[in-house]
Structure formats: structure tokens, C-alpha cells
Copies of this chain bind each other. A is one copy, B any other.
């Protein structure tokens, strides 16, 4: 009974934690050019400002947790797919990636900001813990990758995923100029800018082919799904 009560409480706590993250995500998606303050997040979650601090030790940790939820979703999908599928092609991974970015419009924008803040404002220990969890995910997904691609020596899978994620991030930061979403109008380039999804597809294919050797492009997915 006491245990059950505690479980209920824990469940309730976790649910509220997620509600707060949902609120932050919602605000971030709705107004991507700015980062909401704690009062707004609390308000959006239907809570008082102080309550947020019962669930997150600081605003930075809240944002980091939201970012981590994004990352988690992405890697879960990746790991799940690798576990499920008998055969995996590069384009499959690309598709999953782009689909995820389209589904979480705030992902890269938040990632960029979180990483920017981690450069200075986030406490060392917090950042370390975050990196550690990130490593675990990478290791897990990397192992899955290695199962499918015999070309990959042990450890090469993690590295490849690391490079992949680095490209996803870095390319976004070069393309986004207060860009609100990854949606591209018809996939066309405007001016000097470039279309993020197309460019990412291109870069990742080069990276992967350079890592595991040239792959024949799967015919039916010749052009990657346009985002959004």
C-alpha cells in the first residue's frame, strides 16, 4: 500500500515533469525565435513558477531535459529500427532522421541553444552527466549499427553515429538564420542559402559511404522524403 502510494506519487511526479517539458516544447515550437522564461513555461503548464523548481533544479536543467527527450526519441527510434529490421540501408536511416526532425521542429534549435549554454553557463557536473547519458545511447545505437554493417569494426559504429549527429547539428547551425522550422518550400534553394534536408542527405551519404564503402542507392527512395 505504502509502496503503491509511493508509486502513484512517483508516477504523478513523472507525469508532471513531462507536462512541464510539454509546456516548454509547445512554447518553443510556437515562438522559435525566443526562449520562454520560467514564468511562461509554468503558466503554459498550468502551474506556478515556484512549482517548476520542485521538478527541475534550474532553468538550464529544464531545457537540457527537454533537449534530452528529443535526443532520446531520436535514438530510440534509431535503435528500435535497427533491432527490428532484417536489412538496413543508408536511406532508411536518413529517412528516420529527417522524419524525426520534422516531427520535432524545436529539436535542433533547442540543441543549438543548449550547447551554446553548455559552453559556459551549465555546471560542469550537469554537463558531464548529460554527456555520459548521451554516450550510452550512442553506444547502444552504435552496436546495433555494427550488427547490420559488417564493414564496421568494433567501435566504428559509435564513431559513425557521432559523426552523423555532428553533421546534423553543424549543418543546421550553418543553415538556420533564425529559421523557424526545417520545412522547405518545395525543396528549392533561395539565394545563397541551401535546403537543409537535401544538403543533410547529401552530406550524410558522403560520410557514410566514406565510412562503410559505397552503397547502391535504393531505387524506391531515390529522393528523400521532403520534411514537414
- A residues near B (Cβ < 8 Å) are 32-35, 109, 112-120, 122, 124, 127-128, 131-132, 134-135, 159-160, 162-163, 165-171, 173-174, 176-178, 192-194, 199, 202-203, 205-211
Q: Do A120 and B166 have beta carbons less than 8 Å apart?
A: no
Q: How near does chain B come to A145, taking the closest CB pair, in angstroms?
A: 14
Q: Do B178 and A119 have beta carbons less than 8 Å apart?
A: yes
Contacts A119-B113, A159-B202, A192-B131; A170 near B166 (Cβ below 8 A)? yes
Residues of B within 8 A of A117 (CB): 116
Copies of this chain assembled into the complex: 4
Bound-state CA distance A33–B207 (Å) is 32
Q: Do A115 and B173 have beta carbons less than 8 Å apart?
A: yes
Q: How near does chain B come to A107, taking the closest CB pair, in angstroms?
A: 12
Residues of B within 8 A of A171 (CB): 162-163, 166, 170
Known: A35-B120, A167-B207. 6 other contacts (CB 8 A): A112-B115, A118-B178, A124-B177, A128-B177, A163-B202, A165-B170
| Most central of A128, A159, A207 by chain B CB within 10 Å | A207
